């Protein structure tokens, strides 16, 4: 009987990927404030990019949760 057990190294690699995705999401969210002076089209593009990065981060967090690994939300409450 074969069991589907994840190796701890897989958890480590997935956790590292999550952390990179979380840092990317935080950076892209901060860029919204930076491009605010450039106009509404730049803001829309930055918001879309940040939303994709957050979605990617959340997907990795869900994969980790499935493996029983909990991660803290590292994003700030506000951009101010």
Query: pLDDT tens, 41-67?
Result: 999 999 999 999 999 999 999 998 888
Q: Which of 1, 3, 6, 4 is nearest to 63 (CA)?
A: 6
Alpha-carbon radius of gyration of the chain: 16
What proportion of the chain, given as a percentage, has pLDDT over 90? Answer: 57
Q: Alpha-carbon torsion 48, 50, 56, 61, what sign?
A: negative
The whole-number average pLDDT for the span 3-18 is: 73
58: which 2 tokens? 């959340």
How many residues are given for the chain?
Answer: 80
The whole-number average pLDDT for the span 9-17 is: 84
């Amino acid at each position: 009987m074969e069991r589907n057990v994840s190796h701890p190294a897989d958890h480590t690699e997935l956790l590292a990927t999550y952390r990179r995705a979380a840092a990317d999401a935080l950076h892209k969210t901060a860029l919204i404030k930076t491009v605010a002076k450039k106009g509404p089209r730049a803001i829309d593009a930055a918001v879309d990019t940040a939303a994709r990065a957050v979605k990617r981060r959340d997907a990795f967090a869900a994969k980790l949760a499935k493996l029983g690994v909990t991660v803290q939300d590292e994003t700030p409450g506000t951009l101010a």
